[in-house]
Amino acid sequence: MTALIKWKNHRIEDVEVNLLLQALNERYGYDFTGYARASLKRRLRELMVYFELEHLTQLIPTLLYNEAVAQTVINSISVPTSEFFRDPFVWAYLRENVMPLLASFPRINIWQAGCGFGQEAYSLSILLHEAGLENRSHIFCTDINPEFLNEAKKGCWAARNFKLWQENYQKSGGTGDFSDYFIEQKNTVAIRANYKQHVEFIQHNLVNDDVFKEVQFVLCRNVLLYFGEELQNHVIGLFTRSLERGGYLLLGSGENIFDLQELHPRLESLEYSVQLYRKTSHV
């Protein structure tokens, strides 16, 4: 235990991080070089404890030849933490203010970027259903990580957090019976097929993949906080180009995006507390 604690506090040099990221990129095509260094080092330190390593570079030969180890490293860097109706005040805002705005579009294409295990995607599906908009909506849910996408597609989770999700739903202004949206089994809850109909999961890497054309709403919450300034700027550009004029962008409420308004003048802030923007029609 003492040894583990010592390793946990072990300093990681930038050169070690650079070498590991180069190995991941060249061998597996995942480019994490633009991610914020502080949180990246935190994840890597956790991996050192997990694999009982004294130096980070000891991981490089193993991950080059062992895909399972590489996947563990990739999963750990990409952090799939999520909840249904996470930050209920944001969902309350969407329910009351954004659903009526989206209702003015004849087709509602939504890009939800960084979907993890899908809880956010299906929360949105439930919200669209309750707003009566699901039949003209399509949600493209993307993530860098194929393992997370497979789980999200299944739409089945351990039941242990269900009570929290139910409370989130109620705090967001949900008046239905949250459990009606799920099939409950002994230790799991599965979203009912109806709420999967308009949801599509696609592998997409925000670092180097292209735009989604003509979407009316982009949600990307709790993803950009892991990125460095340059990568954040690149991704906001991607979202801006993907949005139709008058379309909406929602970021994570705790996310501070460097110089967003100065660098992206086409995005006007609509509500600061929930980080909601609209793409204006002028330059």
Ligand X SMILES: C[S@@+](CC[C@H](N)C(=O)[O-])C[C@H]1O[C@@H](n2cnc3c(N)ncnc32)[C@H](O)[C@@H]1O
Which residues of this protein are in contact with ligand X, per CB under 6 A?
A: 78-82, 86, 114, 116, 120, 143-145, 148, 205-207, 221-223
Instruction: Return d(Cα 163, Cα 83) in angstroms, integer.
Output: 11
Minimal distance, residue 114 CB to ligand X, in Å: 3
Structure tokens at 274: 């929930």
Radius of gyration in angstroms for the set of CA atoms belonging to the chain, rounded to a whole number? 20
Chain center to CA of 167? 21
Minimal distance, residue 115 CB to ligand X, in Å: 6
> Is the CB of 63 or the CB of 113 nearer to ligand X?
113
Minimal distance, residue 100 CB to ligand X, in Å: 23
> Is the CB of 148 or the CB of 178 nearer to ligand X?
148
Name which of 80, 82, 78, 81 is nearest 40 in CA terms: 78
> Is the CB of 25 or the CB of 57 nearer to ligand X?
25
The burial class, CB within 10 Å (0-12 / 13-18 / 19+), for 213 is: exposed
Minimal distance, residue 24 CB to ligand X, in Å: 12
Bridge partners of 28?
A: none
Element holding 158 (H helix, E strand): strand 156-158
> Is the CB of 43 or the CB of 221 nearer to ligand X?
221
Minimal distance, residue 31 CB to ligand X, in Å: 8
DSSP 243: E
Q: Which three-class secondary structure state does DSSP give residue 2?
A: helix
> Is the CB of 135 or the CB of 205 nearer to ligand X?
205
Structure tokens at 13: 């040099």
Minimal distance, residue 6 CB to ligand X, in Å: 29
**Dihedral sign, Cα of residue 77, residue 201, residue 151, residue 195:** positive
Minimal distance, residue 104 CB to ligand X, in Å: 25
> Is the CB of 9 or the CB of 81 nearer to ligand X?
81
Q: At what angle do helices 14-28 and 37-51 cross, to 10 degrees?
A: 80
> Is the CB of 64 or the CB of 225 nearer to ligand X?
225
Residue type, 23: A
Is residue 232 within 8 Å of residue 202, measured between CB atoms?
no
Is residue 68 within 8 Å of residue 31, measured between CB atoms?
no
